Amino acid sequence: MTSEKLIRVLVVDDSAYIRKVMKQMLERSPFIEVVGTAINGVEALEKVKELDPDVITLDLIMPVMNGVEFLKNLMPTNPKPVLIASIASENGRMTMDAIEAGALEYIQKPTALATEKIYEITNELIEKVKILAQTRIPKPETAVAEIHNRRLKSNNRFEIVVIGVSTGGPQALRKIIPLLPTDFPLPICIVQHMPEGYTAIFSNRLNEQSKVKVVEATEGMTVEPGKVIIAKAGKHLAITPLQNGKKIAKLMAGNASNLYCPAVDVLFRSAAEVYGEKVLGLVLTGMGNDGKEGAAWIKAKGGIVLTEAESTCVVYGMPRSVDEAMLSDERIPLEEIAKRIVELTCTVL
């Protein structure tokens, strides 16, 4: 492979040891070249101009200019795919700030210490850099407004909306959920692939930005109209009916049959089994094929499946798998999805 075909990476971290190890880990792949390093955001901005990397790995806590400030300076003028490398327990809220500023992916450092434990993330690091090298950078965030100012009620065609999403998902969900009006009449359950420690923070952030209620899933939580439930990282989310007609959230441990935990397939299948033909499923941007099997369950029960159009996907992986399996009823650009959800599920009073 010639050098011009290599994925060119800039590593940004204030630790000399981490910079050295990140370079060693990434260059275990014959398809990746670390073209430079930077010790803080100010130096990183200069290196981006000089080197024009394909992907940037970014520490968050750095002197002079931290990772969030770097992103706020970079993304409006010279957007690049950015992979956050942090420790969730210390930097979870800061990571959400970074995602809102334009970072696309995140990887948990197993330690902040200068030990060989950091090498545990080698394979995941390489895989995510390869994925980000093929991504489409989302458009900058714009202000959102309610789709309808008048009252809504369910049109009875559907009783639940389920959504599966991965890479680029936080940005995509921020362009859908805050658009939904206060009286949206159905429950929404979401699987967003995230490391443990992030989903509670993300749910709280999205709740602050939305008119509907957004919460992280807990065992036994009621699945009810106007509530958006985001699966808890590290636990599958399923829906269980009670004898009184109510439906509740059930959290389950992962198993070898699912690459991700939570898995979109688990949520979609449970929704299809409980609600039958009254399920509206959406598969949005993300790598891999999680959601394809679940979409087949929804379709088999008579429900409807929508996929995000390739033109707006950060990674056209999950939607592609559903599209190619002929399971998608409609392919919709991201900016039109919230409106389409309301059109399919609601009647304006």
What tens digit of pLDDT does each residue of 27-60 get? 999 999 999 999 999 999 999 999 999 999 999 9
Question: Rounded CA gap, 107 and 96, in Å?
Answer: 13
166 is catalytic: yes
* Range name among 95-99, 138-142, 285-289 with the lowest pLDDT average: 138-142
Closest CA to 167 of 76, 26, 291: 291
> How much is the mean pLDDT over the chain?
91
Q: What per-residue confidence (pLDDT) applies to 3?
A: 45
Question: Any idea where the domains of the chain sit in the sequence?
Answer: 3-132, 152-348
DSSP character for 174?
T
Q: Which residues contact 345 (CB under 8 A, 6 or more apart)?
A: 154, 155, 157, 158, 161, 185, 186, 280
Mean per-residue pLDDT for 141-163? Answer: 79
Q: What per-residue confidence (pLDDT) applies to 95?
A: 87
Question: Rounded CA gap, 339 and 319, in Å?
Answer: 19
Query: Residue 1 above 60 pLDDT?
Result: no
Residue listed under structure tokens 């692939």: 193
Q: Are 64 and 40 in contact (CB under 8 A)?
A: yes
CATH 3.40.50.300 fits 3-132, yes or no: no
Active-site option among 166, 203, 270, 321: 166
At residue 125, φ and ψ (nearest 5 deg) are: -60, -50
Active-site option among 54, 59, 193, 328: 193
| Cβ count within 10 A of residue 199 | 24
Question: Rounded CA gap, 25 and 28, in Å?
Answer: 5
pLDDT, tens digit, 9 for 90 and up, residues 216-271: 999 999 999 999 999 999 999 999 999 898 999 999 987 766 678 999 999 999 99
Would you say how long the chain is, in residues?
349
Q: What per-residue confidence (pLDDT) applies to 136?
A: 86
Fold of domain 152-348:
Rossmann fold (3.40.50)
193 is catalytic: yes
Q: What per-residue confidence (pLDDT) applies to 2?
A: 44
Active-site option among 59, 97, 290, 323: 290
pTM exceeds 0.85, yes or no = yes
Same fold flag, 3-132 and 152-348: yes
Of the pLDDT bands very low, low, confident and very high (cuts 50, 70, 90), residue 110 is: confident
- What separation in angstroms does the CA of 143 have from each of 148, 151, 178, 207? 16, 22, 10, 16
pLDDT, tens digit, 9 for 90 and up, residues 155-207: 999 999 999 999 999 999 999 999 999 999 999 999 999 888 889 999 999 99
Please state whether 121 falls in left (phi above 0), alpha (psi between -120 and 50) or beta: alpha
Query: Residue 99 above 70 pLDDT?
Result: yes
Closest CA to 56 of 92, 30, 41: 41
Closest CA to 168 of 146, 147, 139: 139
